[in-house]
Amino acid sequence: MPDSHPTLLAALAGRDTRSYTEIVTAWNALAAQMQEPGTLSLRQFHRWMSGGVMPRGSSQRVSERFWQRPVAELLQPTPTVQHIESPSVALDIRKIVMGAAEDAADHSSNVANYIDSEAIEALAERVGIYARQYAATPPLELFYNLRKLRDSADRLLEHTHAPGQQEPLYLILSQTSALLAGVSFDLGVSDAATEHARAAHTYGKLINNVSAMGLARAIQATLAFWAGEPSRGARLAEVGLEGSTVGTIAVRLHAVSARCFALMGEATATKRALAAAEDARTGIDETYDSLGGEFVFSPARTAFCAGAAYLALGDGDAAARAARSALDLYASVSADQRWYGGVYGAHADLAAARIYSDDLADAADHMEQLLLAPVGLRTSRLVQRARRVQTTVAGRRYRGSPAAARLTGQAEAFVADATAARALPSSSP
């Protein structure tokens, strides 16, 4: 009597003398032998056999070695398989029935599972470490570390259904996604940054953490104004401020609002947002103030943001004052905690501000400081600032000026080096 299977994988498993549990155990043993991070559960194995989900990454590599066939072939619908004799039919039925029982056992054990709380605490500590390392770590290096951290949190989440453990894991996922959004944008991949920011908000919403949702909105607003959509950015920041009224996340949201309003040409709203940012600093954000690093919007960063906002308004003098204030404040921070993106960015903004005052020599001095930035730290934001110096020089009609030509050459060299570095294949794991 013929018996059909939804995929070749299901047919192979049906003819295997081992139970589904034994197949899964053998698969996981091979993954460990291959030093691949993927693990396979009975429930996931059933999904593969149905053809609804395709193994990817490490799971794909292990599966192709385990069954000695490409994954695409394994998940193809298979023709009807003719059972030669009745005992094999009986064995097939028994395996189907036993598979359902094993699936139920697997699910019930997962529901009852409770992971060691120290594992969660270790991940939370790593979030804080990476947030503090953000300031001086090349984005690509940080990206790999954050991706590993996110995967670790995701695996732990799969192994617990205890609400008291799920909530901190969702917060870790939200925080890691927020950092990944920033790193992705620094690497010039805005689409990925958008997806990570959206994930950060979703995770924060799942646990109703106002600060996590506010940080995600601030990142989304930042991505919006860099994409040339300041009005959308202002709306996103406003939504974030509905829950975050004081503390470092509120400071960030107000500062981002200022950048958006400045790009819209609304000077009064810009200054009002900058004042609100300083007022919000008097409060405490219980989720993020204690973590420090990238999660904290410091006075130096607020001054840096103000400088960029005044530049957008065309107020060179105010922009220069704010950028110098940012540099002074950054200088007072220990070198390992200093946000070099802000330091080099402030020099770029000062260069643009001094062009407004026709002081091209001072502008060139600040561009020389920008050129000291290591290639690994030449983020997308710094590249765009260097390009703004180019356009500012071009817009001032310095035709034939050697000083203007020097500034243009400095900006072009910075952009070219950053672009070339990003095009090189990565040697990171």
Task: Tell which of 78, 93, 112 closes a domain.
Answer: 112
Q: Is the pLDDT of residue 71 over 90?
A: no
Residue 190 and residue 45 share a domain: no
121 exposed, middle or buried (CB, 10 Å; 0-12, 13-18, 19+)?
exposed
Task: Tell which of 297, 331, 365 closes a domain.
Answer: 297
Residue 376 and residue 228 share a domain: no
Per-residue pLDDT tens over the stretch 347-391: 999 999 999 988 999 999 999 999 888 887 888 889 999 998 988
State the pLDDT confidence band at 97, using cuts at 50, 70 and 90: low
Task: Tell which of 112, 133, 148 closes a domain.
Answer: 112
Residue 66 lies in a domain: yes
State the angle between helix axes of 86-112 and 8-15 in degrees (0 to 180), rounded to the nearest 10: 110
Residue 121 and residue 107 share a domain: no
Determine which of 66-70, 276-280, 361-365 has the lowest per-residue pLDDT on average. Answer: 66-70
Residue 241 and residue 140 share a domain: yes
Residue 172 and residue 126 share a domain: yes
Q: What tokens appear for 21 in the block?
A: 């549990």
Q: What is the pLDDT of residue 376?
A: 77
Residue 393 lies in a domain: yes
Residue 198 and residue 86 share a domain: no
Residue 413 lies in a domain: yes
Residue 68 and residue 149 share a domain: no
State which of 3-12, 19-28, 159-168, 214-223 shows the largest mean pLDDT. 214-223
Average pLDDT over residues 147-174: 89
Cα distance between residue 174 and residue 168, in whole Å: 10
Residue 374 and residue 333 share a domain: yes
How many CB atoms neighbour CB 57 within 10 A? 11
Residue 324 and residue 367 share a domain: yes
Percent of the chain at pLDDT > 90 equals: 44
Q: Is the pLDDT of residue 8 over 70?
A: yes
Among 65, 78, 125, smallest CA distance to 292 is for 125
Residue 347 and residue 293 share a domain: no
CA dihedral angle for residue 208, residue 209, residue 210, residue 212, rounded to 10 degrees: -130
Q: What would you report as the CA-atom Rg of the chain, rounded to the nearest whole angstrom?
A: 27
Q: What tokens appear for 204 in the block?
A: 């924060």
Among 137, 140, 46, 139, smallest CA distance to 98 is for 46
Cα distance between residue 130 and residue 313, in whole Å: 34
Average pLDDT over residues 135-152: 88
Among 375, 374, 379, 355, smallest CA distance to 366 is for 355
Residue 266 and residue 125 share a domain: yes
Which residue is it, tokens 């054990």?
Answer: 109
What mean pLDDT, rounded, does the chain reach?
83
Residue 344 lies in a domain: yes
Q: What tokens appear for 326 in the block?
A: 């940012």
Residue 367 lies in a domain: yes
Q: What is the pLDDT of residue 202?
A: 96
Q: How many domains, the chain?
A: 3
CATH number at residue 262: 1.25.40
Q: Is the pLDDT of residue 114 over 60?
A: no
Residue 92 and residue 175 share a domain: no
Q: What is the pLDDT of residue 289?
A: 83
Q: Is the pLDDT of residue 304 over 70?
A: yes
Residue 93 lies in a domain: yes
Q: What is the pLDDT of residue 338?
A: 82
Among 384, 386, 373, smallest CA distance to 225 is for 384
Which residue is it, tokens 């996340």?
Answer: 249
Instruction: Residue 10: give the domain boundaries.
Output: 2-112
Q: Is the pLDDT of residue 425 over 80?
A: no
Residue 305 lies in a domain: no
Q: What is the pLDDT of residue 33?
A: 80
DSSP string, 15-66: H-SS-HHHHHHHHHHHHHHTT------HHHHHHHHHTSS---THHHHHHHHH
Residue 307 lies in a domain: no
Average pLDDT over residues 156-180: 91
